[in-house]
Amino acid sequence: MNGNKQLVTCIVNGEQVAEYVDVRESLLDMLRNRLGLTSVKKGCEVGECGACTVIIDGETIDSCIYLAVWASGKNIRTLEGLLGPDGELTRIQETFVEEGAIQCGFCTPGFVMAATVLLERGEKLSREAIKKHMSGNLCRCTGYHNIANAVEKVMKEQ
Amino acid sequence: MYDISNYYKAATVEDAITLMKEHPEAKIIAGGSDVLIRIREGKMAGSELIGIRDIQEMNGVYMNENEDILIGAVTPFSHITSNDLIKKHINVLGRAVDQVGGPQVRNIGTIGGNICNGAVSADSAPTSFSLDAKLKIVGAQGERIVPITEFYLGPGRVELKPGELLTHIIIPRENYQGYTGHYIKYSMRNAMDIATLGCSVVCKVDRAGNLLEDVRITFGVAAPTPLRCYQTESMLKGKPINGDLYHLMETSVREEINPRDSWRASKAFRLQIGGEIAKRALMKAVEFAGCSKNGD
């Protein structure tokens, strides 16, 4: 029954969204193809690399293994939603730059979203705990040292 | 796009039962972190899906009037770990499911899905066995309770008949009260990896007499289904807590488990680490009971 569509109403980056989505679509497909939110990267498509990480109701999920129809009634945040009114970056984004936690940048939106949830909790965590929290994201160029440095730095500042 | 022929959302258990009757070929999908990947691999391509993740009565953790703890089958792993009842009474289970995949997967993957997949490597399985969990299964004919130790039939096969749904995992009061436990997952990576071997030990300690009053030991990936080590358990029960006890644990489980050679690890290696992790899990469980692990 191809082309079977269902209405999804949700909040994406603070705005109400209503879309008729194909039941076969992943949330990743919906965010990228219908809403143009291309910070959400299509990496492994099996929930291993974390490049498609978005925040749903305050929790990180891999949007590639999440059906778009499940998004109904949810509050979804992507990297685009972090942008300030004058294009400002958030503190964690700035710190990724300062700490050299970016190389090719493909994994960066996913890492930033994972870090954002962690930092918004306001907890002070050990480096080991930070690494555990960030363990659902893979980086294939810079490695993890500078990413952990960036998260640790912002955590100490706040 | 996933190769799905249709998706039906169940809002209640009754709804799900009706949908299963109407669409007997349909597969159940909870969190999706296994089912969607199987569809991606082409193994279940073209399936109709019945989504159960929105069934409220199957989500969350609560205690009934008998002080049994009930865990809804679609409760995500991370919600089990952070739940206050779990932290207070069966922290061993919360910590075990905190070792599944990575944070994103733990936010969507469900304990019921983990169990119904019938995977011997499921991180929830050894601890659920060691807690002698009971499963509440509902079908058109009514409900039945199945001990988890009888639920796993073989790799990927479970005691679930067509039209039936696992709704709750029940941890009876007498199985957790006064018990402590520890699960050790042995894998190559700390995250996003499947257990090469896992062992969960749940025990009750007589602190005054320094005795191991009761113990339940379960291995994952040591046989085609999760394996309770009943012989070792009966050998250890009532013994004083000391180095001999741990040595007996180590040698006895090696006799009792039957791991296989696979690309992940050889049988010999699994036997070696099996003894070691069982011993360490018992030491930790005893420590959690407020006893020195050396019994002095």
Structural domains in chain A plus CATH codes: 5-82 (3.10.20.30), 91-157 (1.10.150.120)
Quick check: B1 and A61 CB within 8 A? no
Report the C-alpha gap between B77 and B96 in whole angstroms.
Answer: 9
* For residues B132-155, average pLDDT: 97
Q: Which residues contact B166 (CB under 8 A, 6 or more apart)?
A: B73, B112, B115, B116, B135, B136, B137, B160
Report the topology of domain B180-288: Enolase-like; domain 1 (3.30.390)
Q: Which residues contact B192 (CB under 8 A, 6 or more apart)?
A: A48, A135, A136, B101, B102, B105
Quick check: A114 and B36 CB within 8 A? no
The single-letter DSSP state of residue B101 is S
At residue B191, the pLDDT reads 84
A73 burial (CB, 10 Å; 0-12 / 13-18 / 19+) is exposed
CA-wise closest residue to B213 among B232, B233, B231, B230: B233
pLDDT at B76 over 80: yes
**Average pLDDT value over all residues in chain A:** 96
pLDDT digits (tens, 9 = 90+) for A91-131: 999 999 999 999 999 999 999 999 999 999 999 999 999 99
At residue A143, the pLDDT reads 81
pLDDT at A68 over 50: yes
Cα B290 to Cα A75, B175, B206, B296, distances in angstroms:
43, 18, 10, 11
pLDDT-derived band at B29 (thresholds 50, 70, 90) equals very high
Quick check: A47 and B103 CB within 8 A? no
* For residues B101-121, average pLDDT: 96
pLDDT at B294 over 90: no
Q: Which residues of B touch A67 (CB under 8 A)?
A: 2, 7, 32, 36, 51
Shortest distance between the Cα of B72 and any Cα of chain A, in A, equals 19
At residue B19, the pLDDT reads 98
- Of the candidates B32, B54, B103, the beta carbon closest to that of A114 is on B103
Quick check: B103 and A67 CB within 8 A? no
- What are the helix (H) ranges across chain B? 13-22, 35-40, 77-82, 84-89, 91-97, 103-108, 111-116, 125-130, 173-176, 230-236, 243-256, 267-288
Query: Is A45 near chain B, with CB under 8 Å?
Result: yes
Q: What is the DSSP string of B26-53?
A: PEEESS-TTHHHHHHTTTTTTEEEEE-T
Work out how many CB contacts closer than 8 A connect A with B. 83
The separation between the first and the last C-alpha atoms of chain A, rounded to the nearest angstrom, is 52
* For residues B225-254, average pLDDT: 97
The answer to whether A150 and A114 have CB atoms below 8 angstroms apart is: no
CA-wise closest residue to B136 among B162, B108, B110, B116: B116
Q: Please report, to the nearest 10 degrees, the dihedral formed by the alpha carbons of residues B75, B81, B84, B86 taken in order.
A: 80
At residue A1, the pLDDT reads 47
**Average pLDDT value over all residues in chain B:** 95
- CATH architecture of the domain covering B4-51: 2-Layer Sandwich (3.30)
At residue B295, the pLDDT reads 58
State whether residue B8 is helix, strand or coil.
strand
Q: Can you give the pTM of this predicted structure? A: 0.96
- Of the candidates B5, B102, B107, the beta carbon closest to that of A1 is on B5
- Of the candidates B1, B4, B104, the beta carbon closest to that of A47 is on B104
Domain ranges of chain B: 4-51, 56-174, 180-288
Among B12-16, B175-179, B221-225, the range scoring the smallest mean pLDDT is: B221-225
pLDDT digits (tens, 9 = 90+) for B109-118: 999 999 999 9
pLDDT digits (tens, 9 = 90+) for A29-51: 999 999 999 999 999 999 999 99
The answer to whether B60 and B82 have CB atoms below 8 angstroms apart is: no
**The two three-digit tokens of residue A27, written as one number:** 């949330």
Determine which of B6, B104, B187 to mutate to test the interface with A (most A C-beta atoms within 10 Å).
B104
Report the topology of domain B56-174: 3.30.465
